[in-house]
């Protein structure tokens, strides 16, 4: 059975609402999104034929500030997936105490099947279709699955041309040359590293001696793999959409990154020492730290009992379902939830947004110092509440995040 991520997100709200005895009216409010836009994107392909793609942009909550959230291009994108991702962005921004709300977008397309010009036309038409609900004061998109700085540049340019002036603050994750921030690209991986380091310290573990498995080898998985490899950790296995590689003595991450950054798949990498492994088997391989950094709903009730690690560090959004979460907690496995663990990306996106608005740009040292401060402050708050209440880290994180949103709703009231 394919799990509906929107139903998972709503179930997570119910769990935390019960734990914190939340006002039922607020619970009802939080389980709905503010607005969902569905758009058709007609594109004349290079061969002259017309293709029509479907795109989405969703705002879950803007009670604490403009919406913030990525845009993904994937053939698996659905409206319910985008709704769930928008909800998780609300909690992420709230947990990090950023003055932003939750939003998300996506286009149902396989970008690998498009030429460079087709991809540009798709991006610009999508940006034009959602132009009325994005902007520095409304909703600020960013890169996500299969999108990057170039795609953000096209969105910024399309928006700017329609407004008659340059508006760099409409998106984050842009190239540095047109208002992007240093440190933005590796930010999610850096945040994962800071949180994992703090968790190991709490548990009395030496990070350098931990055996790591990472599902996903894109921007997030690749960055955290590189950081941990440089730290001296043994990376037992990594995977991408094609499958994974396993080596008990530890993979040579630098060579694998060089291979994949040239557009190659891990499955095509040749090294007789490495064993090929499926994405499913990778998750249940014994290790110390498991980092699901690909897509949602990969650790479910069916495989939760087979997870053999000390820490699950959620690099992806929603990789562990509520049922699996409960099972892992009962097994004594520490799950560092997505809204905390992978918050580094939105944190540095916020820094980029502030820099664009002020037209004053920071040095990398300041970016990393501010990122570390915000990530560790959030981690300490979550860890303390989890210990006080004897609850898992996700529920603790949700209590903090939902409390802030609930207070904002209470203070603003329900219009009219």
- The answer to whether the beta carbons of residues 345 and 98 sit under 8 Å apart is no
Across 318-328, b (16+ Cβ under 10 Å) vs e yields bbbbbbbbbbb
Is-contact 292 320, C-beta < 8 A? Answer: yes
According to DSSP, residue 274 is labeled: P
Q: Give how far the C-alpha of residue 104 lies from the chain's centroid of Cα atoms, to the nearest Å.
A: 10
CA distances from 351 to 65, 235, 410 (A): 15, 31, 28
Eight-class DSSP state of 320: B
Return phi, psi of residue 392, to 5°: -75, 165
- Residue 140 DSSP code: E
List strands edge to edge, sheet with 289-292: 275-277, 243-246, 234-240, 211-215, 289-292, 311-313, 334-336
d(CA 74, CA 111): 7
And the tokens for 118? 């087709």
- The distance of Cα 208 from the centroid of its chain, to the nearest Å, equals 25
In angstroms, what CA-CA distances link 181 with 168, 175, 176, 344? 11, 8, 6, 13
| Residues with a known catalytic role | 104
Q: Are 87 and 9 in contact (CB under 8 A)?
A: yes
Asked if residue 68 lies in contact with residue 42, where contact means CB atoms within 8 angstroms, the answer is no
CB atoms within 10 A of CB 275: 12
Nearest-5° Cα angle at 312, 309 to 316: 145
Q: Find out whether 334 and 311 touch, Cβ atoms under 8 Å.
A: yes
Closest residue by Cα to residue 246 from 220, 282, 217? 282
Q: Which of 120, 121, 126, 134 is nearest to 108 (CA)?
A: 126
């Amino acid at each position: 059975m394919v799990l509906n991520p929107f139903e998972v997100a709503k179930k997570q709200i119910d769990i935390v609402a019960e734990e914190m005895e939340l006002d039922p009216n607020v619970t009802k409010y939080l389980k709905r999104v503010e607005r969902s836009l569905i758009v058709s994107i007609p594109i004349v392909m290079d061969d002259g034929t017309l293709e029509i793609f479907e795109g989405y942009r969703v705002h879950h909550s803007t009670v604490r500030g403009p919406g913030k959230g990525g845009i993904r291009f994937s053939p698996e994108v659905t409206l319910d997936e985008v709704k769930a991702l928008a909800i998780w962005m609300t909690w992420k921004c709230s947990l990090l105490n950023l003055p932003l709300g939750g939003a998300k977008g996506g286009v149902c397309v396989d970008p690998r099947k498009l030429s460079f010009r087709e991809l540009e036309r798709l991006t610009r038409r999508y940006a034009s279709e959602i132009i009325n609900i994005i902007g520095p004061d409304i909703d600020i998109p960013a890169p996500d699955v299969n999108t990057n700085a170039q795609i953000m540049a096209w969105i910024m340019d399309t928006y700017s041309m329609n407004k008659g002036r340059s508006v760099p603050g409409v998106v984050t994750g842009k190239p540095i040359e047109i208002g992007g921030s240093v440190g933005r690209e590796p930010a999610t991986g850096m945040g994962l590293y800071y949180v994992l380091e703090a968790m190991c310290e709490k548990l009395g573990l030496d990070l350098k001696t931990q055996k790591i498995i990472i599902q996903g080898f894109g921007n997030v998985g690749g960055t955290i793999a590189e950081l941990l490899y440089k730290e001296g950790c043994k990376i037992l296995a990594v995977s991408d959409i094609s499958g994974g590689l396993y080596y008990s003595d530890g993979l040579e991450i630098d060579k694998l990154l060089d291979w994949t950054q040239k557009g190659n798949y891990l499955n095509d990498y040749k090294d007789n020492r490495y064993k090929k492994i499926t994405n499913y088997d990778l998750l249940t391989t014994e290790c110390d730290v498991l980092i699901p950094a690909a897509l949602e709903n990969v650790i479910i009730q069916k495989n939760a009992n087979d997870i053999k690690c000390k820490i699950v560090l959620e690099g992806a959004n929603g990789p562990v379902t509520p049922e699996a979460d409960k099972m892992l907690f009962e097994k004594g496995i520490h799950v560092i939830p997505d809204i905390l663990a992978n918050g580094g990306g939105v944190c540095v996106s916020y820094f980029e947004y502030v820099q664009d608005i002020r037209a004053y740009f920071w040095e990398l040292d300041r970016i990393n110092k501010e990122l570390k401060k915000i990530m560790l402050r959030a981690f300490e708050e979550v860890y303390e509440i989890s210990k006080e209440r004897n609850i898992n880290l996700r529920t603790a994180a949700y209590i903090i995040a939902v409390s802030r949103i609930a207070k904002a709703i209470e203070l603003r009231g329900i219009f009219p």
